[in-house]
């Protein structure tokens, strides 16, 4: 069964890797897809229409409907043109998948302002801008008495919600996207829009150097490839469908066949003096609170509990 039959979807950063998998799976599930990709290198430099057009050709090859789009999602007016592309081409918009991103990894003490700004612009502003225009479209429909079954699916990262060395720029942007997702879900519910996010784990241009450094071997041809970027697409297709109407404001970890809900910041151990603290008395109080709290999650999202002693 095609669970996205007739849905109109925009997928940003859809020319390669995880975004490519999203676009193809959505089309296989019956969606009409705007394949957006600037065609840049991993660091954001350069442009090429080739990657988006190749994905469109692949979708057309199995009878799907798609159109290529080369707008820069971090450009406010470019993002507006992208949303209008879906509306003008396919008559509306049901789903926005914000996936575009770049990397400029550097240790904090060596990072330049350009490296910071470039990454934050593409990831964080590149999520805000298309969402802003899509949300405006759905708000106008709602005010006109139309009923929306709209979906926004953002792309966060374990680097953002759990933390990874050498990625303060990327991680800060991805953590921002997770927070953006939760807030936007609350704001847009009145218009029939759900907003969720993914923290995907997969082998892409953006992660291949990291995986080589960790000595991750490629699977044998007959083995399940747990690092394939295509493994992320099924949850996107389901979230894009009308079946997901009750799910919003959530971030999902997904890698291979493993799916989990990322639990956000929440209050842990607490103490209340009932009055103002004196700085000199806080030492043992803070140490006790931290001792009671679980450690921060590792990059896989799991809390590394210490082994119990005999």
In this prediction, residue 1 carries a pLDDT of: 80
Tell me if residue 170 is catalytic: yes
What are residue 223's DSSP bridge partners? none
C-alpha atoms less than 13 angstroms from C-alpha of 15 in its C-beta half-sphere: 23
Tell me if residue 273 is catalytic: no
- Which residues lie below 8 Å from residue 27, measured CB to CB, with a gap of 6+? 33, 59, 62, 64, 65, 66
Which is catalytic among the residues 74, 158, 162, 170? Answer: 170
pLDDT tier at 307, thresholds 50, 70, 90: low
Q: CA–CA separation, 127 vs 130, rounded Å?
A: 6
Question: What is the fold of 8-262?
Answer: Rossmann fold (3.40.50)
229-253 pLDDT, tens digit each: 999 999 999 999 999 999 999 999 9
Given a cut of 80, is residue 305 above it in pLDDT?
A: no
pTM over the 0.85 mark: yes
Q: CA–CA separation, 301 vs 161, rounded Å?
A: 8
Alpha helices by DSSP H, listed for the chain, are: 17-28, 50-61, 76-90, 113-120, 126-143, 158, 168-188, 208-213, 233-240, 282-292
92-108 pLDDT, tens digit each: 999 999 999 999 999 99
- Which residues lie below 8 Å from residue 92, measured CB to CB, with a gap of 6+? 8, 86
275-298 pLDDT, tens digit each: 999 999 999 999 999 999 999 999
In terms of Cβ atoms closer than 10 Å to its own Cβ (0-12, 13-18, 19+), residue 37 is buried
Of 39, 73, 44, the residue nearest 54 (C-alpha): 39
> Are 194 and 140 spatial neighbours (Cβ–Cβ below 8 Å)?
no
Which is catalytic among the residues 157, 158, 159, 241? Answer: 157
In this prediction, residue 222 carries a pLDDT of: 75
Which is catalytic among the residues 137, 159, 174, 191? Answer: 174
In terms of Cβ atoms closer than 10 Å to its own Cβ (0-12, 13-18, 19+), residue 306 is exposed
Tell me if residue 174 is catalytic: yes
């Amino acid at each position: 069964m095609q669970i996205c039959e007739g849905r109109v979807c925009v997928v940003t950063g859809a020319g390669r890797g995880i975004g490519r998998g999203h676009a193809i799976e959505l089309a296989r599930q019956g969606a009409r897809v705007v394949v957006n990709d600037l065609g840049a290198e991993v660091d954001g430099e350069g442009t090429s229409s080739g990657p988006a057009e190749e994905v469109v050709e692949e979708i057309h090859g199995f009878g799907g409907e798609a159109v290529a789009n080369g707008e820069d999602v971090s450009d406010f007016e470019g993002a507006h043109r992208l949303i209008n592309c879906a509306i003008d081409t396919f008559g509306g918009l049901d789903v926005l998948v914000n996936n575009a991103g770049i990397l400029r990894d550097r240790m904090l003490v060596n990072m330049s302002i350009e490296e910071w700004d470039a990454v934050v612009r593409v990831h964080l502003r590149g999520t805000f801008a298309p969402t802003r225009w899509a949300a405006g479209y759905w708000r106008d429909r709602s005010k006109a008495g139309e009923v929306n079954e709209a979906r926004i699916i953002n792309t966060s990262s374990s680097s953002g919600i759990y933390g990874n060395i050498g990625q303060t720029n990327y991680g800060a942007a991805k953590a921002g996207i997770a927070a953006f997702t939760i807030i936007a879900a609350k704001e847009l519910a009145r218009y029939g829009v759900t907003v969720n996010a993914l923290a995907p784990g997969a082998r892409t241009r953006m992660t291949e150097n990291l995986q080589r450094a960790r000595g991750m071997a490629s699977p044998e041809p007959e083995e399940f490839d747990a690092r394939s970027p295509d493994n992320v697409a099924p949850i996107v297709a389901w979230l894009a469908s009308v079946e997901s109407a009750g799910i919003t404001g959530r971030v999902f970890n997904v890698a291979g066949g493993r799916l989990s809900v990322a639990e956000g910041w929440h209050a842990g151990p607490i103490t209340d003096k009932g009055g103002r603290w004196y700085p000199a008395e806080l030492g043992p109080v803070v140490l006790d609170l931290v001792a009671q709290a679980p450690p921060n999650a590792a990059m896989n999202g799991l809390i590394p509990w210490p082994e119990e002693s005999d």
